[in-house]
Structure 1
Amino acid sequence: MEKQQKQSPAMMLLRLLQGALIGLGAVLPGISGGVLCVIFGIYRPVMELLSDPKKHYKTHLPRLAPVFLGMGIGFLGVANLLAFFLERYPNQSVCLFVGLIGGMLPSLMKQAGEKGRSKGSWISLLVAFTVVLGLLVGLELFSVQVTPSVLWYLFCGFCLALSMIAPGMSFSTLLMPLGLYTPFVEGLGRLRPSVLVPGVLGAVVTIVLLAKAVDRLFERHYSIAFHAIVGVVSAATLVIIPFRDMASSFAALLSDLICLAVGVVLALALDRFNARFPKE
């Protein structure tokens, strides 16, 4: 046990960088912090620590502390930059994010089928896709206006934590259709207490209540759970595509398509890098 707790400076730096990338993945639309945990081979120890900290903190916390520190740095460091681009170039930014998500979908499907696919897997994907698409389209058709508030920021914290404990679930895909992503990210980047406090509280409560349940769900029903996540991500991504902006002019269509293509290329490049990254 003692040997597991000792880390060289190089290993601590590596874990700090991994944490920073995971933090970036948690806030960047189209990328999941949970997926990056899987890619870096630390998802299982992270989930074990979150689901039962009393049992695992002595063996897991020393080697994961640099990861958590890096996550905070990566998350807060990019929040202001994202808020700027979403405010100045909203449609182009969204198209870039849609391209990132679309480029990652093949990788997500591959991960979803790592333990086989059953009839239930495809049913879970279809049901999740239909339910989420119907919900988000219904909100748009009935012009449901979501005004940011403490309760909604608690919900944002829930989605953020869920994106960490459920691989493949990007919290931006749920918040963008509701119009909550930009104010939430901007509030976090500027450390506004009205956003930061309920967001952190929602994330902590979610981890305490759901980490163990999600860990067991993926352990016992990996394929069904992961295919459901693919369905949620696909439906939420489809809703945020700015079709109206694309149809407004040729210049808008061209710029949006270029951003979509750039997003796909970046996602595929990241996927190729991930395939070569050594797992723990």
Structure 2
Amino acid sequence: MRSNKQSHLKYLIRLWTLRIIQGALIGSSAILPGVSGGVLCVVFGIYQPMIALLSHPVQSLIRYYRLFIPIAIGWVIGFLGLARVVEVLFDASSALAASLFVGLIAGMFPSLFREVEKKGTGAVSWSYFVVSLVIFYAFLSSLKAGQTIKIAPTTAWYFLCGAIWGLSLVIPGLSSSSILVFLGLYQPMAAGIADMRLDVILPLFVGIVLSAVGLARFVNFLLKRYHVFIHHVILGIVVASTLLIIPSGFSSTVQMMLSVAFFLVGYTVSLWMEKLSAVAGKQADGMSLDYDTKRAKLRRADH
């Protein structure tokens, strides 16, 4: 009995460790230009549970609350703590920071492609992927190449920042921070969050909630009705957005070599998280298992 309890405890520790790390990475990605929190939700396997939660909060919370508790804890840690560390890394060398995140996402590509193949294969299905890859790469490239403009920040503009942020959660590949940099709102918003200014934080979070919840039900409908099409399109968006954050201009050979090293670190960590996820129960469905049911199984095993 004691060994079974210890085994179950180790299972929970591994699972919570994985989810807190994933939540921290998602939280830190929220303020990093060029990195989409929605993309990380996809590669970490929590995108559909998140959309379901936003679409049907009560029903989904009952099913996925064990998934979202550690994710939420990690998000707060990443947003308030790890994000600052990574932001310093971006300030020191955007190439190294981008290489780290590219490695994290690339490490999930094999499993991501396998999951998409389960939804549908064939020329038609993969044509959805190719078309979405080309369209979103062109669209995001045009945003990236645009000239930065300046807007005087107000409560209304901070609400818009939150609305754009919410869209980036629901639409993988849409980097909210990149758009906010383009609008000239990124720095005052980040400074307001760092200073814990309520006149910045409150309209920001209201915008996030209204935007994410308002769009999530529609996206959830598309996932159920056109799952083959949507999954291949999402994969195209993920690949397109990842290609755009690959650093290209290196200041020296040393920086290029360090970027490769950071990529490998991110890739290794990503593979480790996937392995940990497999050992601990895999993806979000493992979190929906009822704890009392598991205890009953353990009692039967003892007898």
State the 1:22 CA deviation.
4.2
Q: Please, which of 128, 131, 135 is the counterpart of residue 131 of structure 1?
A: 135
- Describe the shift of the 1:195–1:251 C-alpha distance in structure 2 as closer, same or farther (beyond 3 A): farther
Superposition pairs for residues 250-265 of structure 1, below 5 Å? 250-265=253-268
Q: Please, which of 52, 56, 59 is the counterpart of residue 56 of structure 2?
A: 52
Question: Which residue identity lines up with residue 213 of structure 1 in the other structure?
Answer: F
State the 1:60 CA deviation.
4.8
Q: Please, which of 158, 175, 197 is the counterpart of residue 166 of structure 2?
A: 158
State the 1:15 CA deviation.
7.8
- Which residue number corresponds to residue 94 of structure 1? 98
Superposition pairs for residues 54-73 of structure 1, below 5 Å? 56=59, 59-60=62-63, 66-67=69-70, 69-73=72-76
- Checking the alignment, whether the CA contact within 8 Å between 1:177 and 1:236 is kept in structure 2 is no
- Checking the alignment, whether the CA contact within 8 Å between 1:79 and 1:186 is kept in structure 2 is no
Rounded to whole Å, the distance in 1 between the matches of 2:178 and 2:108 is: 18
- Greater Cα offset, 126-135 or 69-78: 69-78
Rounded to whole Å, the distance in 2 between the matches of 1:239 and 1:87 is: 19
RMSD: 3.8
- Greater Cα offset, 9-18 or 21-30: 9-18
- Which residue number corresponds to residue 104 of structure 1? 108
Superposition pairs for residues 1-280 of structure 1, below 5 Å? 20-27=20-27, 28=29, 29=35, 32-36=40-44, 38=46, 44=49, 47-53=51-57, 56=59, 59-60=62-63, 66-67=69-70, 69-76=72-79, 77-141=81-145, 143-145=146-148, 147=150, 150=157, 153-162=161-170, 169=172, 172=175, 175-176=177-178, 179=181, 183=187, 188=193, 191-193=196-198, 195-244=200-249, 246=250, 248-279=251-282, 280=286
State the 1:144 CA deviation.
2.3
Aligned length: 259
| TM-score relative to the length of structure 2 | 0.68
- Describe the shift of the 1:233–1:205 C-alpha distance in structure 2 as closer, same or farther (beyond 3 A): same
- Describe the shift of the 1:92–1:62 C-alpha distance in structure 2 as closer, same or farther (beyond 3 A): closer
Aligned sequence identity (%): 23
- Describe the shift of the 1:58–1:20 C-alpha distance in structure 2 as closer, same or farther (beyond 3 A): closer
Question: Which residue identity lines up with residue 88 of structure 1 in the other structure?
Answer: A
Question: Which residue identity lines up with residue 258 of structure 1 in the other structure?
Answer: A
State the 1:271 CA deviation.
2.0
| TM-score relative to the length of structure 1 | 0.73
Structure 1, gaps ≥5 residues long: 1-7
Question: Which residue identity lines up with residue 112 of structure 2 in the other structure?
Answer: L
Rounded to whole Å, the distance in 1 between the matches of 2:114 and 2:191 is: 33
- Which residue number corresponds to residue 290 of structure 2? none
Rg larger in structure: 2
State the 1:210 CA deviation.
2.1
State the 1:135 CA deviation.
1.8
